[in-house]
Amino acid sequence: MDIIKSIEHEQLKSKIPELKVGNTVKVHVRIKEGNKERIQVFEGTIIKVQGGGVNQTFTVRKTSYGVGVEKTFLVHSPLVEKVELVRVGKARRAKLYYLRDRVGKSAKTKEQIGARIEDKEIVLKEDLVEEVSEAPEEKPAVETENVETQEVVDTVKEEKVETVKETDKKAE
């Protein structure tokens, strides 16, 4: 792997949501105001998904107080906390730019009948924590179960204190 790809690989999120054009999603975005940080939810329809790798983006459109608002988010941005799927839409195009001209109910995509609302995630890289937990348990280097113990009995001669003192004086 060359240097640029290795740096990009470090920046990738391990799991990303499966984003499809036409779906209605809630994007939880981390916003920093001064020294406070909060999470703001932006709910709308995905009108386009483009790019790949670190530069992959998706654009979400919603109508707020009669004005259309579009925001483009980087998929691998640390500011995007999570993406929740609200509704599975039916789209036959890759880019839904025609929704910009529509107003009211016609600005929505049709809901796919019988579709399950599941937050599917695409796993890009495995977590190291999971690999360690899946590894078979190693045997300890020292087995404590089969250790044999031997009793050592010390025999001490009992001598009178007077005889010990006499032997010490003689030695001097």
Which token pair is 156?
A: 């001490």
Strands 36-50 and 15-17: unpaired
pLDDT digits (tens, 9 = 90+) for 12-40: 888 888 888 999 999 999 999 999 999 99
Closest CA to 79 of 37, 36, 45: 37
Query: Measured between alpha carbons, how far is 117 from 137 in angstroms, rounded to an integer?
Result: 38
Domain 3-128, classified CATH 2.30.30, yes or no: yes
pTM of the model: 0.66
Which token pair is 126?
A: 């495995």
Which token pair is 123?
A: 């796993």
Query: Measured between alpha carbons, how far is 130 from 115 in angstroms, rounded to an integer?
Result: 31
* Of residues 114 and 50, more confidently modeled: 50
Q: Which of 81-85, 140-144, 157-161, 165-169 has the lowest mean pLDDT?
A: 140-144
